Amino acid sequence: MERVVYSDNAATTPISKNVYNAMLPYLTTGYGNPSSLYSLAREEKKAVDQARMYVAECLNCEPDEIIFTSGGSEADNMALKGLLFRKNFPKNKRHIITSAIEHHAILHTCEFLERIGYEVTYIGVDEQGHVKMDELEQAITENTALVSIMAANNEIGTIQDLKAISALCHSKGTLFHTDAVQAVGHMKIDVKDMGIDMLSLSAHKIRGPKGVGALYCRKGVVLEPLIHGGGQERGKRSGTENVAGIVGLGEAMRYAKEHMDDYLPYVASLRDRLIEGVLKIPYTRLTGDPVNRLPGTASFVIECIEGESLVLRLDLAGVATSTGSACSTGSLDPSHVLMAIGLPHEIAHGSLRVTLGEQNTVEDVDYLIEKITYVVKTLRDMSPVWDEKMSGQPMLNLFDK
Amino acid sequence: MEYSEKVMDHFANPRNVGTIEDADAVGEVGNAKCGDIMKMYLKISDDGVITDIKFKTFGCGAAVATSSMATEMVKGKTIQEALQLTNKAVAEALDGLPPVKMHCSVLAEEAIHAAIADYYKRRGLNPEEFMGACDMNCDTCGKH
Ligand SMILES: Cc1ncc(COP(=O)(O)O)c(C=O)c1O
Ligand SMILES: [Zn+2]
């Protein structure tokens, strides 16, 4: 293997040097329990407070509006269940609205809520993945407790108009939560300016450690804890703090706030170079919004090849990517996101997601273009569907049954 | 989910990929479940032996590897022997497939059956007389 290019940064990111250095003391000498009274633990308490400050500064909120969690999934669960399960929550408010393209941390939570008697409306998206605002407007009723729409999609990178969505929610008297796991650190987020009531984030998508994240919960929004116990996080999330992880998250957020203006344009330029190169392959399209998309996310559908084969062959060439093809999902359908943007089954079968980060280089991108082009050609050479497309014969109607 | 070394070998270096211009039989099947498609080309001698076989597959790693292995397993065999080949046998020859991928392996078996049905049809014969009534829910005989 000549070279290895990690380009699946939407799945997770490598820990950065500064995060590693910030965490190290808390994995070695800084072992005190932040809740203890003795001086040994003072450093740890200070470190957690400092991290909370960094997170708050990056989002433009108050430190005590941040609740540390075990990651994005817990933050999502906390936002939805914590609100609905709250004592004295209005009896009529048993309706939640979300979108058809959310991460499973939201969708499976919603399915669970439906099973125990809540009502959920799933708003559709247009072919670029934007939530249909008219559908959303019609769906909100006086019984709606919460609207939860992701800030940016993990498969196709489309960024939602958060300001417009929150304005609509508030004009109709409902709260707005956003799963910003893919967005934080990859675009400017200002919870006050954007009118966000709750926001989920995760450290490992921004070069922090896995297993730590946070929920921003605006002052005045009261949640029932999911985890009861020793009363950490002001009683909102019990359990002895993951000090090293929280410090890592804080450092990643500090870095994001300070350096975003430099690395965002850089990563976007890599992405655009990649998109330009890959779209030179015939019968290939970009998925998602071509403009309002995450700076690192390049997502495609490539006709007449299958995504899992593509990803496996790219892996053999030293390139890490992902796909939402039917054969990769473990179920028999392509990813729900590709279905929701209206792609036909056989087109969604050939999806490819390449997600870049600050650590990637122009050389990486050129290597990616070369390998993707080569592997697509190899797979098309052995694809009966490609032969039929090239000979102008109609494809067998194998799916019209 | 992880593939065995054998699966990865057949996936990375598939045997018998291609087409046969003057094939005696061609079978094309699709897996309506996940969208994989496979096409098999056979050369069959007068005494009913499969002398050459090629395939093209649009599908996942399991679909490609099972196509490749299945072609190796029936090459040189008689039609009757080839009809005995099951997807389970192909999967076993590959040191197993992840359970969620077993449905992808059915395609290779079906493609061989479809090609043999095509062979009989080209000779003006009714495939069912030789292959038995089709019990598979596939495109093998175009009946379903
Ligand atoms: C949009 C989105 N939400 C939630 C999550 C879950 O985050 P975590 O892995 O930290 O639980 C992810 C990560 O895969 C994600 O992409
Ligand atoms: Zn398959």
Of B12, B35, B37, the CB nearest to A384: B37
**Band (B2; pLDDT cuts 50, 70, 90):** confident
Count of other CB atoms within 10 angstroms of residue A397:
9
Q: Which residues on neighbouring strands pair with residue A123, listed in sequence order?
A: A99
Q: Do A308 and B57 touch (CB under 8 A)?
A: no
Give the minimum alpha-carbon distance from B34 to chain A in angstroms, rounded to a whole number.
5
Which atom from ligand 1 is nearest to the alpha carbon of A74?
11
CB A150 near ligand 1, within 6 Å: yes
Q: What whole-number distance in Å separates Cα of residue A114 and Cα of residue A98?
A: 13
- Residue A16: its pLDDT value, please? 97
The verdict on A222 touching B (C-beta cutoff 8 Å) is no
**Band (B72; pLDDT cuts 50, 70, 90):** very high
List of chain A residues whose C-beta atoms are within 8 Å of the C-beta of residue B57: 382-384
**Band (A122; pLDDT cuts 50, 70, 90):** very high
Mutate to test the interface with B, among A322, A374, A398 (most CBs of B within 10 A): A398
Q: Do A398 and B37 touch (CB under 8 A)?
A: yes
Active-site residue B141, yes or no?
A: no
- Residue B141: its pLDDT value, please? 47
pLDDT (mean) for B85-93: 94
Nearest CA to ligand 1 atom 16: A154
pLDDT > 70 in chain A, percent: 97
- Residue A401: its pLDDT value, please? 36
Q: What whole-number distance in Å separates Cα of residue A325 and Cα of residue A338?
A: 9
Give the minimum alpha-carbon distance from A293 to chain B in angstroms, rounded to a whole number.
28
Active-site residue B60, yes or no?
A: no
pLDDT at A372 over 90: yes
The model's pLDDT over A44-61, given as tens digits with 9 standing for 90+, comes to 999 999 999 999 999 999
Residues 33-52 on B with a CB inside 8 Å of A are: 33-39
Quick one: closest CA in A to B34, which residue? A332
**Separation of CA B142 and ligand 1 centre (Å):** 45
- Residue A296: its pLDDT value, please? 98
Residue type for A229, please?
G
- Residue B143: its pLDDT value, please? 46
Give the minimum alpha-carbon distance from B82 to chain A in angstroms, rounded to a whole number.
22
**Band (A394; pLDDT cuts 50, 70, 90):** low
- Residue B33: its pLDDT value, please? 62
Ligand lying closest to the C-alpha of residue A327: 2
DSSP character for B58?
E
Residues 339-358 on A with a CB inside 8 Å of B are: 345-346, 349
Helix (H, G, I), strand (E, B) or coil at B90: helix
pLDDT (mean) for A29-42: 84
- Residue A398: its pLDDT value, please? 47
Q: Which of B60, B104, B138, B141 is catalytic?
A: B104
pLDDT at A74 over 50: yes
pLDDT at B127 over 90: no
The model's pLDDT over A207-233, given as tens digits with 9 standing for 90+, comes to 999 999 999 999 999 999 999 999 999
List of chain A residues whose C-beta atoms are within 8 Å of the C-beta of residue B18: 382
**Band (A392; pLDDT cuts 50, 70, 90):** confident
* Domains of chain B in sequence order: 5-131 (3.90.1010.10)
Give the minimum alpha-carbon distance from A9 to chain B in angstroms, rounded to a whole number.
20
Buried b (16+ CB within 10 A) or exposed e, A103-114: bebbbebbeebe
The verdict on B125 touching A (C-beta cutoff 8 Å) is no
- Residue B133: its pLDDT value, please? 66
Q: What mean pLDDT, rounded, does chain A reach?
A: 94
pLDDT > 90 in chain B, percent: 72
The model's pLDDT over A154-195, given as tens digits with 9 standing for 90+, comes to 999 999 999 999 999 999 999 999 999 999 999 999 999 999
* Least reliable range by pLDDT among A27-41, B104-118, B125-139: B125-139
The model's pLDDT over B17-35, given as tens digits with 9 standing for 90+, comes to 999 999 999 999 987 667 8
Nearest CA to ligand 1 atom 14: A11
The verdict on A332 touching B (C-beta cutoff 8 Å) is yes
Nearest CA to ligand 1 atom 8: A72
pLDDT > 90 in chain A, percent: 88
CB A129 near ligand 1, within 6 Å: no
**Separation of CA B38 and ligand 2 centre (Å):** 11
* Domains of chain A in sequence order: 5-10+260-400 (3.90.1150.10), 17-257 (3.40.640.10)
The model's pLDDT over A131-141, given as tens digits with 9 standing for 90+, comes to 999 999 999 99
3-state secondary structure chain A: CCCCEECECCCCCCCCHHHHHHHHHHHCCCCCCCCCCCHHHHHHHHHHHHHHHHHHHHHCCCHHHEEEECCHHHHHHHHHHHHHCCCCCCCCCCEEEEECCCCHHHHHHHHHHHHCCCEEEEECECCCCCECHHHHHHHCCCCEEEEECCCECCCCCEECCHHHHHHHHHHCCCEEEEECCCCECCECCCHHHHCCCEEEEEHHHCCCCCCCEEEEECCCCCCCCCCCCCCCHHHCCCCCCCHHHHHHHHHHHHHHHHHHHHHHHHHHHHHHHHHHHHCCCCCEEECCCCCCECCCEEEEEECCCCHHHHHHHHHHCCEECECCCHHHHCCCCCCHHHHHCCCCHHHHCCEEEEECCCCCCHHHHHHHHHHHHHHHHHHHHCCHHHHHHHHCCCCCCCCCC
**Band (A320; pLDDT cuts 50, 70, 90):** very high
Quick one: closest CA in A to B17, which residue? A382
Q: Phi/psi at A374 (nearest 5 deg)?
A: -65, -45
For a substitution probing ligand 1, which of A12, A13, A68, A73 has the most ligand atoms within 8 Å of its CB?
A: A73
pLDDT at A396 over 60: no
Q: What whole-number distance in Å separates Cα of residue A155 and Cα of residue A40?
A: 45
Nearest CA to ligand 1 atom 4: A72
**Separation of CA A350 and ligand 1 centre (Å):** 23
pLDDT (mean) for A373-393: 91
Q: Do A309 and B11 touch (CB under 8 A)?
A: yes
Give the minimum alpha-carbon distance from A168 to chain B in angstroms, rounded to a whole number.
39
Query: Can you give the pTM of this predicted structure?
Result: 0.93
pLDDT at A374 over 60: yes
pLDDT at B142 over 70: no
* Least reliable range by pLDDT among A352-361, B57-66, B120-129: B120-129
Of B17, B32, B60, the CB nearest to A398: B32
List of chain A residues whose C-beta atoms are within 8 Å of the C-beta of residue B38: 384
pLDDT (mean) for A317-328: 89
pLDDT at B144 over 50: no
**Band (A298; pLDDT cuts 50, 70, 90):** very high
